[in-house]
């Protein structure tokens, strides 16, 4: 590790020696590059390139990190707008609570949206949970202003803090980044494997994106695919790259193999939850007096074919399997479920009691069994394809 001083960092700031590299993020569904993390590097006068670990901790202790962030932001905006990164990618940028204690950074980003044609969806800020917990109301206020403008917010190092659930509920996060330590240990530790799977499921239910950091091996990649993770970042894909090399890298498919088999399992769980909610609604409401106002409330699960969680998957990421006959076989039972659900709601509103509900609940269960069987067959087919790819990669 190179020893640097605070005065050298100040000199580097005066001479604009700090630059950005980009570490690609790949979709585990489409096999394409979907974004990157912008990471600072220090290009010294002698031509050496220093990684953040050599100077960022000192910059934070010396309260220079805010100057560094503000100096890098115009370079980032220029790369996004002038070099076309914003056209199809989302670039994440690390910030600290020091950067957000006053509105200077916030105003600079909002100004870039208004005057420099920066698409808000092209930028995501990363902040660690620990920093979020230690921040004051000014930081959260600035974050919310950026979030309201459409800027994304990622919780970095997810899984190593103490209050992740509470922080997720209070901050407008759009992404969680699984800490690379958990990703590294998940294949050797059942507990870490469970944390990864549960975190991916939690994010799915909250409508958050998940990025797995530090993916370095094919085995880690395949575990994440099977668990339903959508985006990977790490040395298996690429090290951080200078802008020109990153743009060239994006022109080619990633080393990650897109196969969203884990999302089939997500669809199964989504459906089971929908059926359980519908059954609970029917049982609870049918026990009420026939004239109870609660029977008329809209507290049942989504009845629109395209708005339920399974329907969104079927019309979206599930289309990866559209060529398989079993995927097309899902349409009829899916429609059947919604038909039974609509009849359940109509009968509840008409005052039906438990005895009248029993046949409809039985019918709901029978259609559900058919749907789950098809989804499980589809999942098995996806797993077979995944392991065939794994076997070919191993032998080559």
Indicate the pTM of the whole model.
0.86
Quote the DSSP letter at residue 297: S
- Show me where the domains of the chain are located: 6-256, 263-394
Q: What is the mean pLDDT of residues 11-30?
A: 94
Q: What distances in angstroms separate CA 84 from CA 18, 241, 255, one per listed residue?
A: 21, 16, 23
User: Is the pLDDT assigned to residue 395 strictly greater than 80?
Assistant: no
Residue owning tokens 């070919």: 392
> What CATH code would you report for 263-394?
1.20.120
Q: Which residue has the higher pLDDT, 222 or 393?
A: 222
**CATH H-level superfamily of 6-256:** EAL domain (3.20.20.450)
Which pLDDT tens digit goes with each residue over 234-250? Answer: 999 999 999 999 999 98
User: Is the pLDDT assigned to residue 165 strictly greater than 80?
Assistant: no
- 17 CB neighbour count, 10 Å cutoff: 17
Model pLDDT, residue 255:
61
Phi-psi region of 101 (alpha: psi -120 to 50; beta: other; left: phi over 0): alpha
> Whole-angstrom Cα distance, residue 382 to residue 186?
22
pLDDT band at 320 (very low <50, low <70, confident <90, very high): confident
Q: What is the mean pLDDT of residues 348-357?
A: 96
Model pLDDT, residue 128:
86
The number of helices, as runs of H, and strands, as runs of E, in the chain is: 17, 9
User: Is the pLDDT assigned to residue 29 strictly greater than 90?
Assistant: no
Burial 131-165 (b: 16+ CB within 10 A, else e): bbbebeeebbebbebbbeeebbbbbbbbbebeebe
Model pLDDT, residue 162:
60
41 neighbors 19 (Cβ within 8 angstroms):
yes
Q: Which residues are catalytic?
A: 213
User: Is the pLDDT assigned to residue 257 strictly greater than 70?
Assistant: no
User: Is the pLDDT assigned to residue 159 strictly greater than 80?
Assistant: no
Model pLDDT, residue 69:
95
């Amino acid at each position: 590790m190179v020893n640097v001083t605070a005065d050298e960092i100040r000199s580097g700031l005066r001479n604009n020696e700090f630059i950005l590299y980009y570490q690609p993020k790949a979709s585990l569904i489409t096999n394409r590059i979907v974004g990157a993390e912008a990471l600072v590097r220090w290009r010294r006068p002698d031509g050496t390139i220093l990684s953040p670990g050599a100077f960022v901790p000192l910059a934070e202790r010396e309260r220079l990190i805010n100057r560094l962030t503000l100096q890098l932001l115009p370079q980032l905006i220029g790369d996004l707008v002038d070099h076309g990164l914003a056209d199809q990618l989302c670039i994440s940028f690390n910030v600290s609570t020091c950067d957000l204690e006053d509105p200077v950074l916030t105003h600079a980003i909002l100004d870039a949206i208004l005057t420099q044609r920066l698409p808000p969806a092209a930028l995501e800020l990363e902040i660690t949970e620990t920093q979020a917990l230690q921040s004051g109301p000014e930081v959260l206020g600035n974050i919310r202003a950026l979030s309201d403008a459409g800027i994304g917010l990622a919780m970095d190092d997810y899984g190593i803090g103490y209050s992740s659930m509470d922080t997720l509920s209070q901050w407008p996060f759009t992404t969680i980044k699984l800490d690379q330590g958990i990703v590294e240990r998940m294949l050797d530790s059942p507990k870490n494997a469970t944390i990864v799977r549960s975190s991916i499921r939690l994010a799915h239910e909250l409508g958050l994106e998940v990025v797995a950091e530090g993916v370095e091996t094919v085995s880690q990649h395949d575990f994440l695919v099977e668990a339903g993770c959508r985006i990977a970042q790490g040395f298996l894909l690429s090290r951080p790259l200078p802008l020109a090399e990153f743009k060239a890298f994006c022109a080619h498919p990633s080393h990650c193999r897109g196969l969203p088999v884990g999302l089939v399992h997500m669809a199964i769980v989504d459906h089971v939850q929908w059926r359980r909610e519908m059954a609970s609604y029917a049982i609870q409401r049918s026990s009420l007096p026939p004239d109870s106002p609660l029977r008329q409330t809209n507290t049942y699960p989504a009845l629109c074919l395209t708005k339920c969680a399974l329907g969104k998957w079927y019309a979206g990421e599930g289309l990866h399997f559209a060529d398989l006959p079993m995927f097309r076989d899902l349409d009829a039972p899916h429609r059947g479920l919604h038909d039974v659900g609509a009849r359940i709601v109509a009968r509840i509103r008409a005052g039906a009691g438990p005895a009248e509900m029993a046949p409809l609940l039985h019918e709901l269960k029978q259609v559900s069994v058919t749907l789950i069987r098809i989804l499980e067959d589809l999942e098995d087919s996806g797993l077979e394809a995944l392991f065939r790819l794994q076997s070919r990669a191993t032998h080559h």
